[in-house]
Copies of this chain bind each other. A is one copy, B any other.
């Protein structure tokens, strides 16, 4: 089992009000690079900054890393369009940062990126891949891609109040800029990504198609961004079994219909509940308030913990430990935050 993390960026993420994947729009470009470091090394390396939302919600990289410290799965990070240097080791698929989808073309080199990712997906020796993502603004590009592919599925948000009207406005502008009507590009899936998508979509779709072709099983480890990628995989005519492992926070989002995604796209969908409401730790309370919800393979990591029989109480304690190690303001010598869970 290997978790492959596709890490990228777009200019779309810098549209005011789109994403919470960074304390400020300027810091958002660094988030995927540092997420990769946290997942690989357990802490940021190229910077001292832990990515947080404007209200202080820590990146889901903290959650996935904590699970990794309990479960011990392998990680491979793909540079799927990073804008900042990262000290995490990455595999290149020739991706560049995505543009603003309101421009005519959103994703450079889309065919080459898909082909390279597909070849990598075919070649990796693992029987089972989990594939996650970190890309700020990814639910907006997901919304635009779903519309271009003619799929009527809603998207989640890293913000507690999902800015749906803004996303719809951006998605409409994206389709307009590329001169295509909703559903028109369902038979040209890479053209759809090039027009209104992001480089992580091309990378994850390529990895998934290649791995399925070589007989590996694939679980998309994420929320509605990966639902959009699943739509892309299906648009390529790939009808192999495909799973999606996400969080209870995505499942609880009223904008999201996971049952519809499962039936429309023939996905085996599971959502894991980490029981964060049982903790009083600052690392988890913003999730309970509806922030972040998913990312950096979080839903897949939680599913792996469950499969290995590691209780969520243990995972929550590890999340607190990882966070306290990272947070310069934390006081690990003080009493640990209460956890009211008995599991």
Contact = CB atoms under 8 A, between A and B. Distances in A.
Interface of A: 40-43, 45-46, 76-77, 85-92, 120, 123-125
A238 to B, nearest CB: 21
Give this chain's copy count: 2
A89 B87 contact: no
Nearest to A85: B92
Residues of A contacting B: mostly: loop
B123 A45 contact: yes
23 contacts: A41-B124, A41-B125, A42-B125, A43-B125, A45-B120, A45-B124, A45-B125, A46-B123, A76-B89, A77-B89, A85-B92, A86-B91, A87-B91, A87-B120, A87-B123, A87-B124, A88-B89, A88-B91, A89-B89, A89-B90, A89-B91, A90-B90, A90-B91
Which of A77, A91, A120 counts the most chain B CB atoms within 10 A?
A91
A185 to B, nearest CB: 30
Which of A46, A77, A85, A87 counts the most chain B CB atoms within 10 A?
A87
A89 B77 CA distance: 7
Nearest to A126: B41
Contacts of A87: 91, 120, 123-124
Contacts of A90: 89-91
Nearest to A2: B41
Contacts of A88: 89, 91
Contacts of A89: 76-77, 88-91
Contacts of A92: 85
A52 to B, nearest CB: 19
A89 B2 CA distance: 13
Contacts of A120: 45, 87
A87 B122 CA distance: 12
A92 B125 CA distance: 24
Contacts of A86: 91
A203 B78 CA distance: 23
Contacts of A125: 41-43, 45
Nearest to A46: B123
Nearest to A47: B123
Report, nearest first, the 6 A-B pairs whose CB atoms are least far apart. Answer: A89-B89, A45-B123, A89-B91, A89-B90, A43-B125, A41-B125
A89 B85 CA distance: 14
A43 B125 CA distance: 8
A87 B41 CA distance: 20
A123 B46 CA distance: 7
A32 to B, nearest CB: 14
